[in-house]
Amino acid sequence: MTKQNINRRARRSFAPEFKADAVWLVMSGKSLGQVAEAFDLTETSVRGWVRRADADAGVGSPDMLTTEERQQLARDAAYTRVTISTH
């Protein structure tokens, strides 16, 4: 095991409601650091969730895809893989 992997936390997944709670706290005035510490998260994760929520609300960066757009791209990619593999 390398030194880099020793401090690395295993990848975790979170329910949409959990993410929404963290985002709500940030939007309510708590800092990213406070929310990350309270929920035992990284600031990077919380920041990403806030950005995604902003994109979904239409107030984020114009080049960031909404959740719906990301889901459509995933469906299109899956369809393309199936189509290519059957021909």
Summarised one tens digit per residue, pLDDT across range 13-35 is 999 999 999 999 999 999 999 99
- Determine the pLDDT at residue 82: 87
- How far apart CA 28 and CA 35 sit, in angstroms, is 11
pLDDT tens for each residue of 34-77? 999 999 999 999 999 999 999 999 998 888 999 999 999 999 99
| The pLDDT of residue 22 | 98
CATH class of this structure's domain 13-85: mainly alpha
The total number of residues shown for the chain amounts to: 87
Domain residue limits, the chain: 13-85
Residue 10, judged by CB atoms within 10 A of its CB (0-12, 13-18, 19+), counts as: exposed
Q: How far is CA 81 from the centre of its chain?
A: 24
Share of the chain above pLDDT 70, in %: 92
pTM: 0.74
Other C-beta atoms closer than 10 Å to the C-beta of 25 total 18
Please state the separation of Cα 39 from the chain's center in Å.
Answer: 15
- pLDDT interval class at 11 (50, 70, 90): confident
CA dist., res. 21 & res. 12, Å (int): 17
